[in-house]
Amino acid sequence: MTASGTFGYGEEFMDFFDISCLGGVLVKGTTLNHREGNPYPRMAETPQGMLNAVGLQNKGVHYFADTIYPRIKDIKTNMLVNVSGSTVDEYVETAKVVNSLENIPGIELNISCPNVKEGGMAFGTSCPSAVAVVNAVRKVYDKHLMVKLSPNVTDIAEIAKAVEDNGADSVSLINTLLGMAVNAKTRRPVLSTITGGLSGPAVKPIAIRMVWQVAQAVKIPIVGMGGIMNATDAIEFMLAGASAVQVGTANFIDPMVTVKIVEGIEQYCDENGFESASELIGAMQV
Amino acid sequence: MKKYLDDFIVVSNERLNHEYVVLTLKHPDRLPHMMPGQFVEVKVENGPNTFLRRPISIHDVDKEANTMKLLIQEIGEGTRLMGALQEGDKCNLVYPLGNWFSLPDKPDVLLVGGGCGIAPLLFMGRHLKANGIKPRFLLGARTSEGLIALDEFKKLGEVYTTTEDGSAGTKGYVIHHPVMRTQDPDIDWIYTCGPDAMMRVVAKYARNHDIRCQVSLENHMACGFGACLCCVADTLDGNKCTCTDGPVFDSTYLKW
């Protein structure tokens, strides 16, 4: 799958390859109302990664349903909508709209965005608030409910277990790690928001560790992500317990990376005697 | 315009001075159509501290030779690695990206470039000339060493220069050149690319004299094709991606 906020609505990549070969596309974070996002600059390159502070720029769920959905609904892959909000009510209202879209088989509940002033990550960093939003959305959303977890917590497994107990069908992790960059020349922060979310290979070991910890704690499928740049990275996440993976930042560097990863996993399975990639899930021998 | 992902081959690396290099890249087959103002995203290989591609303006295109030129100003690790590419090296590009300059509806045209911002103006000058318009260029730099590719520009039209230290041309910034000091300038359209501060004063001058002005922004980008939403410019319609809605904007559309 492709990670939300790194693959637009899929359309941006269609010049490069047929995206129907992917397991799924997580479309850009969607909120109830239009959001302008944060001011420029929103991005800083860092060693083996990048910081972003986009701040959920999107035109709101009604624009998505009316304008974007008709364009993407017939793409032959799982188009999932990443849903975010500032209040529990906003999550609920947004999820209701997406629930009515026939060809959207699921949502990814984003309780982990580090770049918004209200809501976002605040919901995903404590069990009671995570439970509150998952519970409320579960009541109005009857298709697949994936919950995207924040790594900016003391015990991610505890949050994963809490959302599983309250109706999540799967968890995806990790969202970006809260980070910061300073420009020594100008003696100013690089990002307009001072802090931002770190992604890319720099976060991979942390992400794999968290996938493994969550795999010990929950029975629902885990979608692993964080710095996956190639098939080997994806396989490592699966061996640690992920049932599927999302590829994010790598899309910016190689717009065809996802199709290469799909092929690379197949090749790995062939070469190592696995009939199906599902045999890799949690197959790490400790 | 359809986007591509291809390996090009470096056919020449021409070092202009300690800071600037012109890379000529050959397409493996047939170069697709590209327009002045568009850019490419260059993959930087083997950089221990570089991660993202680098957005670089298309400096010139030779369709018959299937080559394009990139003007590289070595300012960081990524651009230094690009400047070190040698003949025969591979260079992976996502291209052509962004929108392009429009043709003017009147004949008196001034192209204003500062520093590395002159890069797209050569391609645009060639495009203007091919469309029967004789462009004039106003090129600025810190010192005479920074005034590059002047011979190429002179083949296309009249060239005015400024340097901050007065080592060539008029001393000062581009805005100090006599061509921009007259109260009743014979300019219908301005195309400009360069440092933000320079483009803002050029845009202000254009606004004050009712001159149509297109600016090419150089915002930092991650992807270059509208996926990351990092490179936004503040416009009358809110945040717009420099990579897909730009890099060329009418100056009056920006909240400058």
State the residue for tokens 């298309």: B58
**DSSP conformational letter for A240:** T
Q: What is the CA radius of gyration of chain B?
A: 17
Which of B2, B4, B51 is closest, CB to CB, to A50?
Answer: B51
Give yes or no: residues B114 and B212 share one domain. yes
Give yes or no: residues B201 and B159 share one domain. yes
- DSSP string for residues in A176-212: PEEEE-EETTTTEESSTTSEEEEESGGGHHHHHHHHH
**DSSP three-state, residue A266:** helix
**DSSP conformational letter for A259:** H
Question: pLDDT digit of tens for each residue in chain B (256 aa)?
Answer: 999 999 999 999 999 999 999 999 999 999 999 999 999 999 998 788 899 999 999 999 999 999 999 999 999 999 999 999 999 999 999 999 999 999 999 999 999 999 999 999 999 999 999 999 999 999 999 999 999 999 999 999 999 999 999 999 999 999 999 998 887 889 999 999 999 999 999 999 999 999 999 999 999 999 999 999 999 999 999 999 999 999 999 999 999 8
Let me know if A127 is a catalytic residue: no
Cα B71 to the center of its chain, rounded Å: 9
What pLDDT band is residue A116 in, cutting at 50, 70 and 90?
confident
Task: Give the integer Cα–Cα distance in Å for B177 and B146.
Answer: 17
B59 lies in which domain range? 4-97
For the A11-280 domain, the top CATH level (class) is alpha beta
**DSSP three-state, residue A144:** strand
B53 contacts in chain A (CB < 8 Å): 252-253
The single-letter code of the amino acid at A103 is: N
**Extents of the domains making up chain A:** 11-280
Strand partners, A144: A106
Q: Indicate whether A118 pLDDT > 80.
A: no
Instruction: Say if B192 falls within a structural domain.
Output: yes
B226 contacts in chain A (CB < 8 Å): 8, 12
Dig out the tokens for A25 from the structure.
């596309």
Q: How many domains would you assign to chain B?
A: 2
Q: What is the CATH number of the domain that holds B8?
A: 2.40.30.10
Q: Indicate whether A228 pLDDT > 90.
A: yes
B219 touches chain A (CB under 8 A): yes
Peptide bond into A205 cis (omega under 30): no
For the whole prediction, is pTM greater than 0.90?
Answer: yes
Contact between A281 and A245 under an 8 Å Cβ cutoff? The reply is no
Are A251 and B51 within 8 A, CB to CB?
no
Task: Give the integer Cα–Cα distance in Å for A224 and A218.
Answer: 14
Instruction: Provide the mean pLDDT of chain A.
Output: 96
Which of A42, A200, A251 is closest, CB to CB, to B51?
Answer: A200
Give yes or no: residues B120 and B202 share one domain. yes
**Span A13-20, average pLDDT:** 96
Give yes or no: residues B88 and B114 share one domain. no
Are A43 and B228 within 8 A, CB to CB?
yes
pLDDT of residue A122: 80
Give yes or no: residues B91 and B119 share one domain. no
Q: What is the CATH number of the domain that holds B121?
A: 3.40.50.80
Dig out the tokens for B17 from the structure.
């001075």
Give yes or no: residues B92 and B114 share one domain. no
Predicted ipTM of the assembly: 0.94
